[in-house]
A and B are shown apart, each in its own frame.
Chain A
Amino acid sequence: MRIGPPASCGLQAAGWARTHDFRLPRRQHVLTTNSTLGREKALENLTLASHVDAINWNRVVDPIDDEVWDRLTGNFWLPEKVPLSNDIQSWATLTDDEKTLTMRVFTGLTLLDTIQGTVGAISLIPDAVTPHEEAVLTNIAFMESVHAKSYSSIFSTLCSTKEIDEAFRWSRENKYLQSKADIILSYYRGDDPLKRKVASTLLESFLFYSGFYLPMYWSAHAKLTNTADLIRLIIRDEAVHGYYIGYKYQKGLESQPEERKQELKDYTMNLMFELYENEVAYTHDLYDPVGLSEDCKMFLHYNANKALMNLGYEAMFPKEVTKVNPAILAALSPGSDENHDFFSGSGSSYVIGKAENTEDDDWDF
């Protein structure tokens, strides 16, 4: 691949739908968004371990590493397994504006996954405290690349090359999307390992959701349902990633003095606000034409709370602004809209589920 000067100031979404175009100057964007820095400078900043011990999975220091590895590998999937072509008819029922919106949302998500796969997860590896954590992070990085590629599978199934190129051009030029990428990348390049984990968790658990909202909305309206199945696989992965990186942040925080803990909490809240303001602007930019901005913002608040909880902090947004549309919640997690609040009713009408065969073979009773 030719390493050339960047065409624009920001990181680009990896354009797998145009694999014929090898002139995309991608690699040095990954290492720096500053166009004055060349490849040599980027390599100078690259830190590689000087000594590596063979990883022994029979001596796991932190059982969470082992659990998360099992979970991630158990969840492994590829976009080729999802019958996306069944959505071609449904795609044809969308208006031009709806198609444009959908493609823009997906290029935005592609950019985030590209960042996380090529910079974010990788940037956490030098800070890992166990060799197993390093291994988990390589899995996370790889799956982010699978996610990024899967959007291109959607595009190549549903859209023309011209439409795809236009959507990628939009992703390079949209100021809110580029701002989102710039904010996150600046923290990945910083020298504070715990701050990197905060930025990474907020990306995994918050920044994706302005985009994930749309396929859940389509799914709730019985449109692009196979695409939604694929997105749900991504959402499931991101939940594990956010949980894991957030957990490692909290482990790292334990040994810090009180003053530093407070500094990091303040930093987290400030970064959340900075990203939130940008997300709101991005959401209006995308969804105002179809009148969905307010509905989407409820989903953002709900996920912002969950991102903070992944970092061990209490929820920030009150319930009045986190009332996610039940149809969106049901699209995300079937059955989650059903009332399982036994306490709020009399309880007398509650129907207990029929005994099911559990897959756990070591129940004795």
Chain B
Amino acid sequence: MLLVYFSANSEYTHRFVAKLRHPAVRLPTLTKEPTLRVDEPFVLVTPTYGAGRNRGAVPKQVIKFLNVEENRRHLVGVIGAGNTNFGMDYCRAAFKVAAKCQVPLMYRVELLGTQEDVDAVNLGLDKLCASSLKTAM
């Protein structure tokens, strides 16, 4: 299963995705760079940005990517990356994308993810590949 992910320069999400055995493409770090075009089913992995008063929770680069209708059409589900210390805001971006695109929030992982997270997500993505896929509206 293809993964599309955003990771800031801190590389947390990048390092989690790198531990998975599924192919992954990274969204551009800078918002001004052109976004990607994806023409096959994929799962989005996103951290939550800021989530304070000053900024929205969903990284701008993720919004830019999902604003492309053909990308959005291939979205199967979302995996959130975050930290429970942020309380109500833990994985808020993943919740938002899942609700907005009407796809399931499939898993939540903290920071770099543990071995258990890696195993669970690998297996889950395997199963997903084998099943018929329902993508975003």
Contacts and interface: CB of A to CB of B under 8 A. Distances in A.
Nearest to A69: B54
B99 A355 contact: yes
B112 A309 contact: yes
A166 interface: no
Interface string A290-331: 000000000000000110011010110001001000000100
Instruction: Report, nearest first, the 10 A-B pairs whose CB atoms are least far apart.
Output: A343-B124, A74-B52, A239-B85, A360-B56, A342-B106, A333-B84, A309-B111, A353-B99, A364-B67, A74-B54
B32 interface: no
A71 B124 contact: no
Nearest to A313: B112
B124 A356 contact: no
Nearest to A319: B116
B85 to A, nearest CB: 3
A216 to B, nearest CB: 11
Q: Name the prevailing secondary structure of the A interface residues.
A: loop
Interface residues of B, number: 56
Interface string A335-365: 1100011111001001011111011101111
Given A343-B106, A353-B95, A365-B69, A70 B52 contact: yes
Contacts of B41: none
A352 B103 CA distance: 6
A360 B12 CA distance: 23
A335 B90 contact: yes
Given A239-B83, A343-B127, 9 more contacts: A74-B53, A333-B84, A333-B87, A340-B80, A342-B105, A343-B128, A347-B131, A354-B99, A359-B56
A247 interface: yes
B120 interface: yes
Contacts of A315: 112, 114-115
B58 A340 contact: no
B9 A64 contact: yes
Interface residues of A, number: 51
A67 B7 CA distance: 14
A13 interface: no
B86 A239 contact: yes
A243 B86 CA distance: 12
29 contacts: A64-B8, A64-B9, A70-B50, A70-B52, A71-B54, A74-B55, A232-B87, A236-B86, A243-B10, A243-B83, A306-B83, A306-B110, A315-B112, A319-B116, A333-B85, A333-B86, A333-B88, A334-B88, A335-B88, A335-B90, A342-B107, A343-B121, A352-B99, A352-B102, A356-B96, A358-B96, A360-B56, A360-B58, A360-B63
A250 to B, nearest CB: 8
A238 B85 contact: yes
B87 A63 contact: no
B100 to A, nearest CB: 6
B50 to A, nearest CB: 5
A350 B55 CA distance: 30
A73 B55 CA distance: 12
Interface string B68-95: 0100100001001001111110100001
Given A236-B86, A365-B67, A310 B104 contact: no
Nearest to B126: A343
Interface string A168-203: 000000000000000000000000000000000000
Given A71-B52, A247-B10, A358-B56, A344 B85 contact: no
A62 interface: yes
A352 B98 contact: yes
Nearest to B51: A71
Contact of B108 (A73, A314, A340, A360): A340
A75 interface: yes
Nearest to A247: B10
A31 interface: no
Nearest to A329: B84
B49 to A, nearest CB: 8
B99 to A, nearest CB: 4
A354 B95 CA distance: 10
B58 A358 contact: yes
Contacts of A84: none
A312 B106 CA distance: 25
B25 interface: no
Interface in A65-86: 67, 70-71, 73-75
Contacts of A358: 56, 58, 96, 100
